[in-house]
Structure 1
Amino acid sequence: MNQVTKFDGTHEDLIHDVAFNYYGNRLATCSSDQKIKIWDYNEGEGIWESSISFKANAVKKWTPVATLRDGNGTVQDVEFAPNHLGLRLAIVAADGLVKIYEAMDVTSLAHWTMIDSFPVGEGPSKDEEGNHCLSWSTSKFTSQMMVVGCAKDHVAKIFRQDHNNKWQACEVLGGHGGVVHDVSWAPNMGRSYNLIATACKDGHVRIFKLTDDSQGGALTGGWSRKMFNVTCIADFADHNAEVWRVEWNVTGTILSSSGDDGKVRLWKATYTGDWKCMSVVSAEEGPNGFQR
């Protein structure tokens, strides 16, 4: 049964982002009021209850353990690496640099070492709008890879390490008519191909399919700048507005997207491989907020 639970976030300004824990029973919200709030779901009463609210340096339960200050521009996206790579964090800033940090000793999180830094393109000029975003590949069977949305280039690019462990720009995910606001690399879960979703300023959600290029190094174990054949297998403009976020479920079979139309859409492939909208979530329409 589909159900929407609506509750007052009690923030004093715009809420910018939300994130669930793995089990879906704890939620964090952050706002322009400079507060982060943690919510726990009360199953007995079916409501979300605030367990803590804090600003930076203003709470004893949650305290900063490290501050990373190597950037020369606004931090635009951060993401932890997959578990098999260790405790690593990738950061991309407005200056067009991706920096990767690692906590060498997981028992001492105050010490992080920058182990890699590479450019993904020029940052936008003062007169241009731009955004960088990134998403790691979770595959254990290839070299380290991530997809990065590249600001004013209006593309997303796949970066991976070469034989010298240097990050190189490889395949390009093109066809966007504006800034790429978000990218999401789907968990592989045994598929013979990879899926990457993008959210774009032009109002489109796009899904790209990456298949092994037998002429490259993918099947022989060697390194090649062209490892994948890239095909756009789905392109949706249902939001009719800027699309800001895309994210896969844990198995990489359902994609969610959200945009300026105030709706969250869920996408799933049919048995023929065609991607269709399976649900539309809106807090303002219908008795339970769901449309089919």
Structure 2
Amino acid sequence: MEKSIATLDKGTICSSWNYCGQRLATGLIDGTVSIFHTTDPASSFFTSTFNFKVNNGSVTKVVWVPPEYGDAIACICSDGSLSMWEEISEDSEPVQWKQCTSFGGPLEQVLDGQFGNSISSLKLTIAYSNGLVKVYEILDPMELKNWQLQAEFQNVTDPLTKFGKATCSLASVSWNPQRSESRPASFVLGYNSGTSQLNSPKVWEFDQDHQRWLPVAELAEISDKGDHVNALAWAPNIGRPYELIAVATSNGISIWQMASNPDSNGRLSVEKVAMFPCNGNEVWQMEWDMSGMTLATSGTDGRVRLWQSNLNGNWHEQAIIESAT
């Protein structure tokens, strides 16, 4: 029997689950963030314990900082800003959430931001509406306000290709969830823009020897390189000899299989192993389960769909979840 685990505030438009702390953060259309957790583990019901205003516009995305860096979230808002908020407990004062830093704004709008936890430092990739992607890092986990710009580039495979100020309406960033000393830090990035070369998802990998980010794979066939990207999701890997990345465009959902080890040219071979047409339902959000075996998607039809592959590697729609009302 299904049961409710939380009652969200009216006007909630985004959420983020903290698996480690068993907490839920939600963003509201009025610029408020709510933090939920369960006070009674036996009931498994989550209640709102903190509410605080982060912006005068709406909160469009909430992302938790990796738990080893403390209890903190990043909030992307409708005015194009990304602000970071940290839970602070000082002496006998009550626990509060305080802003520790911010990025972007009306002149350089943030479209997406994601944390990447490499071996050496915490990183933050931010995609901006002008077509630039910036990678920041922080070396001291106790100082979430001291971010340093590590790199700035455009989402193109040819380093000689440069575009003027692009106009992008959406961007999606997804980091490789695995941390490994044998593999460099990497993430996948795609845009929804009027510049087709920026759109197709590209996997970026950090070259430790030369201290720079390099494109090592492109998740697009010749016919769909200009497709507008709505969402990306890199699957956790619990032992596969390859990586799985899901791509949602205006044409549907595609599942890409990518080699874990590069060829002699430093590239990672890719293969599209599944494609699900949208049939009028555009997907705007995707997330893998913790095992990387099930993909959850949601879109314009208001339903959550679960996708899995069978033992033969054939992907299919496993279940559809929709509101009872």
Partner of 1:37: 34
CA distance in 2, matches of 1:30, 1:233: 35
1:124 shift after superposition: 4.6
Identify which of 165, 169, 173 aligns with 1:130: 169
1:260 shift after superposition: 0.8
Give deviations 1:202-224, integer Å, cap 9, x for gaps. 3x11110112677x23xxxxxx3
Give deviations 1:70-106, integer Å, cap 9, x for gaps. 9952111111112524222111111112212122222
1:139–1:188 contact (8 Å) kept in structure 2 = no
Matched, 1:93 2:128: yes
Give deviations 1:233-285, integer Å, cap 9, x for gaps. 11113674110011111221111111111111111111111112222111237
1:130–1:179 contact (8 Å) kept in structure 2 = no
Structure with the bigger RCO (C-alpha within 8 Å, sep 6+) is: 1
> Identity of paired residues, percent?
27
Change (3 A) 1:55 1:71: closer
1:71–1:93 contact (8 Å) kept in structure 2 = no
What amino acid sits opposite 2:111 in the alignment? Q
Identify which of 199, 212, 220 aligns with 1:166: 212
CA distance in 2, matches of 1:239, 1:7: 32
CA distance in 2, matches of 1:77, 1:250: 22
Between the two proteins, the alignment pairs up a number of residues equal to 270
The answer to which structure has the higher strand fraction is: 2
Moved over 4 A (4+): 42-46, 57-60, 69-72, 121-124
CA distance in 2, matches of 1:212, 1:54: 42
Change (3 A) 1:243 1:75: same
CA distance in 1, matches of 2:309, 2:270: 18
Moved more, 170-179 or 149-158: 170-179
SS of the aligned residue for 2:169 comes to coil
Change (3 A) 1:71 1:102: farther
CA distance in 1, matches of 2:31, 2:50: 14
1:45 shift after superposition: 4.3
Identify which of 19, 23, 26 aligns with 1:26: 23
Identify which of 306, 312, 322 aligns with 1:272: 312
Q: Which runs of 5+ in 1 are unaligned?
A: 218-223, 286-292
SS of the aligned residue for 1:73 comes to coil
When normalised by structure 2's length, the TM-score is: 0.73
